[in-house]
A and B are shown apart, each in its own frame.
Chain A
Amino acid sequence: MSLRADLAIIADHVAGGSRVLDVGCGDGALMAALRDSKQADARGLELDPRNVAAAVGRGLSVIQGDADVDLAGYPDASFDYAILSQTLQTCRAPDAVLGQLLRIGRHAFVSFPNFAHWRVRASLLWGGRMPVTRLLPEHWYDTPNIHHLTVDDFRAHLKERGVAVEGAWFLSGDKKTTSAAANFLAEHAIFLLRGTNQG
């Protein structure tokens, strides 16, 4: 089974034998890949009980819980990597969740759909409707994405917080695109951040 493009990039850049927390791990596809190809000790947090059951069925350790609430219980720097893929924009308090991620992981991967991608812009500019795209397939009323953000929004937020960026990858479709034009050309951004506790 092949991983989604953003997950494949994350999997490629996790050091072997790491302790990994996947926040919003879905059915555990990334965790299973990290366990099988990187011998990672992977743990997951997932909101949907059906996904939890599926992940546990793969022999993974997954806790049903809410990133907005349940990250507080994890000790500082208890993981080498804390991963938040495609989940930041669904959080009630994404800034607080990011803070927890940086506290728990010595490094953090954050990936999100870029709301400033040209197709999103065009849809809003010419159609006058909330964009429905490949990565943002839901309508305004049923989308779980309640805090849309752009690549530049995230960069500005990291700068404001003084968070060190250790890597960044940008995807258009499944292809990588440049950092310079990312805010316009990237459908999807993946950042590797330095945690606040290196302990």
Chain B
Amino acid sequence: MSADDQRFGLQRHVILPGPLPLDGGGRLAPVEIAYETYGTLAPDGGNAVLICHALTMDQHVAGANPRTGKPGWWTQMVGPGRPVDTDRFFVVCANVLGSCMGSSGPATVDPATGAPFGMSFPVITIRDMVRGQAMLLDYLGIGRLKAVIGGSMGGMQALSWPATFPDRVEAVVVIASAARHSAQNIAFHEVGRQAVMADPNWRGGEYYGHSTPAAGLAVARMAAHITYLSEAGLTEKFGRKLQAREAKTFGFDADFQVESYLRYQGIAFVDRFDANSYLYITRAMDYFDLAEEHGGLLANAFRQTKARFALISFDTDWLYPTRESRAIVQALNAAGAPVSFVELSSPYGHDAFLLDSPEMNRVVAGFMGTGL
């Protein structure tokens, strides 16, 4: 690849003609994708690794976010000398369809009307996101992936990859994820969506250019944030400690530190995320059921692929608990796929996959052949 190839590098954006046929019927055209690449694509294109991001993350996996100036969200995992070594691998991370960081989503202007799509944006699925990523890889000249790696919703995409494109991926890493959304997962998401839609500023999704449903989205984030942490973690961090005061106020200010923390999380979130995107992406996750897409038997999803798999769960993750990973492992075994699995111990609940974990790094490095 030539050094001045505009397809490669940080903060890339492409408008592909499409059309992208969608699981829900209909097609998306054109397809906008914001992405970043790291490292150098081998002449045979054989060293490409796709990183799939979680619900509210973005394409800035290892590069600084230009809007916030903050470092990438997974720099301990992806970078020079890291388990996903950008000195060896050509790493691609793209903003998922439906999101609001530059890829097609409800905030994108509909070329047919000249106004943002809003709720007329088609409902997309995890598999649609994956098909969109495949279109990007076609554009980048990447046929086959050395590996696809993701945590949480990124893990769902990673699982969907070998099921959708069995010959395009050699290895799959799925961290803190599941092959389907449980009733409890859907329930928490529905709380978040209802909070957004109950905000009078939501206006059926047509709030662009007006006040945004920030209060509703903040509540949605607060509820979701609780599911990312463990009870023990919350207790250790906050307990019943009061926020900058000596005694309870017998009112409804944020007396407790945990209240203040959650309010901050909610407010910080609305600055960086579009409420409609939150509706669309949580919907995509709720609709995800990889077994259902393959005749009700999860093993069938993996019968065509020759990929090898590594799964990691965390013992305090109650959002996507270990038993969800074990169900995937069992299906992979039944399909005869080479699979490794480990449950790691962490006090941090679901969020553990985003934190620096030497054990997680060791397993991924070992699996990627970058260990020792």
Contacts and interface: CB of A to CB of B under 8 A. Distances in A.
Say whether A associates with B: yes
Interface of A: 41, 43, 49-50, 52-65, 70, 73-75, 78
Contact of A56 (B326, B330, B334, B367): B367
B339 A53 contact: no
Interface residues of B, number: 25
Interface stretch (B29-37, B215-223, B358-366): B358-366
B190 to A, nearest CB: 32
A52 B342 contact: yes
B338 interface: yes
Interface string B323-345: 00010011001101011111111
A51 to B, nearest CB: 10
B340 A63 contact: yes
B371 interface: yes
A78 B336 contact: yes
B340 A61 contact: yes
Q: Which 5 A-B pairs have the closest CB atoms?
A: A57-B366, A73-B330, A61-B338, A56-B366, A63-B341
Contacts of A73: 326, 329-330, 333-334
Contacts of A58: 366
Contact of A43 (B338, B366, B372): B338
A59 B366 contact: yes
B142 interface: no
Contacts of B338: 41, 43, 61
Residue picked from B330, B339, B344, B359, most chain A C-beta under 10 Å: B330
Contacts of B296: none
A157 B365 CA distance: 44
A49 B372 contact: no
A64 B341 contact: yes
Residue picked from B329, B333, B367, most chain A C-beta under 10 Å: B333
A75 to B, nearest CB: 6
A52 B340 contact: yes
Given A63-B339, A73-B333, A74-B333, A57 B365 contact: yes
A54 B342 CA distance: 11
A111 to B, nearest CB: 24
B195 interface: no
Contacts of B308: 61
Contact of A64 (B333, B334, B343, B365): B343
Nearest to B366: A57
Residue picked from B310, B329, B342, B344, most chain A C-beta under 10 Å: B342
Contacts of A59: 366-367, 369
A61 B339 contact: yes
A63 B341 CA distance: 4
Contact of B366 (A41, A53, A64, A75): A53
B197 to A, nearest CB: 41
Contacts of A53: 342, 359, 362-363, 366
A66 to B, nearest CB: 11
Contacts of B372: 57
A60 B369 CA distance: 11
A53 B343 CA distance: 10
Given A52-B363, A53-B359, A57-B362, 12 more contacts: A41-B338, A49-B343, A52-B342, A53-B342, A53-B363, A56-B310, A56-B363, A59-B366, A63-B340, A64-B341, A73-B333, A73-B334
Nearest to A48: B342
B340 A56 contact: yes
B107 to A, nearest CB: 41
B340 A62 contact: yes
Given A63-B329, A75-B334, A49 B341 contact: no
A70 B322 CA distance: 13
Residue picked from B326, B340, B372, most chain A C-beta under 10 Å: B340
